């Protein structure tokens, strides 16, 4: 395939999750994690045209809550009828990321190229603004990227419609924000070189830096609060405002457990930036969040994976980022 036709992805715009009850989930985000305010809007045939599901013209509806965190947005989606979202929810529940929206250089060329590679449009629509239009497409990239990819084409005259309402309506009882932003997307794979090839050849995402991690360079390893050594190979790639991390587990850990459950088709974790690593751990313990895996990289940089998926639909990794030189390739 001619390289000139390949897509150019620029940065992460949005992380989307499907939930069973939007209001209930919003309360967790806001009152436990200080993530707010959320812009709430119902999508339906009233404000979206040309709705398609798996290539068939079919109407669908959903309640959506959107909130910025750093330079990325969280999107919570409550499906109200049959759609790609309800299919995902029925398969995986609400403890997992549904999709990533990536900014692209050329919408039409990117969509045409990906379709020529055999990638299908799972769901699409044209959101109407006060003026203009937002075309969106969800693509069948779970096997190759390990997440559903969303791409959009926003007309130059698009004016975002106002929300149905904002959540929360009052500020009382909201803690200070726990997280500053998203810096990494983590994906577990069974063959690192094969996954890198797919990212580079099909999606033009690279270059990658590969490291191996084990008890030689990670100290104080724990899995579910039990002292246990584990090892893995990891490939890192920076895409604009985000770092992709591909993890090939070499023995038992939360990585291998996740791969065995989801077969490499879903995102494992998001790394969230924090100012006070130990302060955040102590606070989240009061909310019932557990450390499910941890270690100390080179004896200088602590990291922890947290059981936040039961609250906000994804595992969070946080690191003690005082040593800036080590952050780039921290496992």
pLDDT of residue 2: 44
Q: In sequence order, what are the residues at sequence separation of 6 or more whose Cβ sits closer than 8 angstroms to the Cβ of residue 288?
A: none
Beta strand pairing status for 133-139 and 148-154?
A: antiparallel
Neighbours of 169 (CB within 10 A): 8
Where do the domains of the chain lie, and which CATH numbers do they carry?
A: 3-167 (3.10.180.10), 181-327 (3.10.180.10)
Q: What is the pLDDT along the chain (331 residues), one digit of tens a residue?
A: 444 578 999 999 999 999 999 999 999 999 999 999 999 999 999 999 999 999 999 999 999 999 999 999 999 999 999 999 999 999 999 999 999 999 999 999 999 999 999 999 999 999 999 999 999 999 999 999 999 999 999 999 999 999 999 999 998 999 999 999 999 999 999 999 999 999 999 999 999 999 999 999 999 999 999 999 999 999 999 999 999 999 999 999 999 999 999 999 999 999 999 999 999 999 999 999 999 999 999 999 999 999 999 999 999 999 998 787 889 999 9
pLDDT of residue 5: 72
Task: Report d(CA 218, CA 213) in Å as an integer.
Answer: 7
Task: Report d(CA 51, CA 228) in Å as an integer.
Answer: 50
Using CA atoms, how far residue 260 sits from 188, 189, 212, 268, in Å, is 10, 10, 21, 12
Strand ranges of the sheet holding 218-223, from the earlier edge strand across to the other edge = 209-213, 232-239, 242-249, 181-188, 267-273, 315-319, 301-306, 291-297, 218-223, 226-227
Q: Please, are residues 137 and 186 in contact by the beta-carbon 8 Å criterion?
A: no
Per the document, the length of the chain is 331
pLDDT of residue 1: 43
Task: Report d(CA 265, CA 144) in Å as an integer.
Answer: 8
pLDDT of residue 325: 83
pLDDT of residue 272: 98
Q: Please, are residues 147 and 267 in contact by the beta-carbon 8 Å criterion?
A: yes
């Amino acid at each position: 395939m001619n390289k000139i036709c390949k897509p150019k992805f620029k940065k992460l715009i949005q992380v989307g999750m499907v939930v069973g009850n939007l209001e209930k989930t919003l309360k967790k985000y806001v009152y436990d994690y200080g993530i707010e305010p959320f812009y709430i809007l119902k999508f339906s045939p009233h404000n979206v045209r040309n709705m398609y599901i798996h290539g068939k013209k079919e109407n669908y509806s959903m309640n959506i809550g959107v909130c910025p965190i750093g330079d990325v947005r969280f999107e919570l989606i409550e499906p109200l009828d049959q759609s790609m979202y309800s299919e995902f929810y029925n398969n995986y529940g609400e403890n997992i990321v549904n999709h990533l929206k990536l900014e692209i250089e050329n919408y039409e060329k990117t969509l045409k190229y990906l379709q020529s590679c055999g990638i299908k449009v799972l769901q699409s629509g044209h959101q109407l603004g006060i003026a203009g239009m937002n075309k969106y497409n969800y693509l069948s990239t779970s096997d190759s990227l390990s997440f559903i990819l969303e791409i959009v084409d926003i007309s130059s005259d698009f004016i975002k419609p106002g929300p149905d309402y904002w959540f929360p309506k009052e500020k009382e009882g909201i803690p200070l924000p726990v997280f500053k932003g998203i810096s990494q997307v983590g994906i577990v794979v069974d063959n690192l070189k094969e996954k890198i090839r797919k990212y580079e050849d099909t999606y033009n995402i690279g270059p990658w830096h590969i490291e191996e991690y084990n008890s030689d360079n990670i100290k104080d390893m724990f899995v579910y609060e039990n002292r246990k050594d584990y090892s893995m190979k990891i490939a890192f790639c920076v895409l604009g405002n985000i770092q992709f991390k591909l993890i090939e587990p070499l023995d038992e850990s939360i990585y291998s457990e996740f791969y065995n459950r989801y077969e490499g088709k879903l995102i494992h974790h998001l790394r969230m930036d924090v100012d006070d690593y130990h302060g955040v751990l102590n606070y989240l313990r009061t909310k019932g969040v557990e450390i499910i895996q941890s270690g100390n990289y080179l004896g200088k940089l602590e990291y922890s994976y947290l059981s936040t998926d039961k609250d906000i639909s994804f595992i969070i990794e946080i690191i003690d980022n005082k040593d800036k030189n080590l952050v780039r390739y921290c496992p």
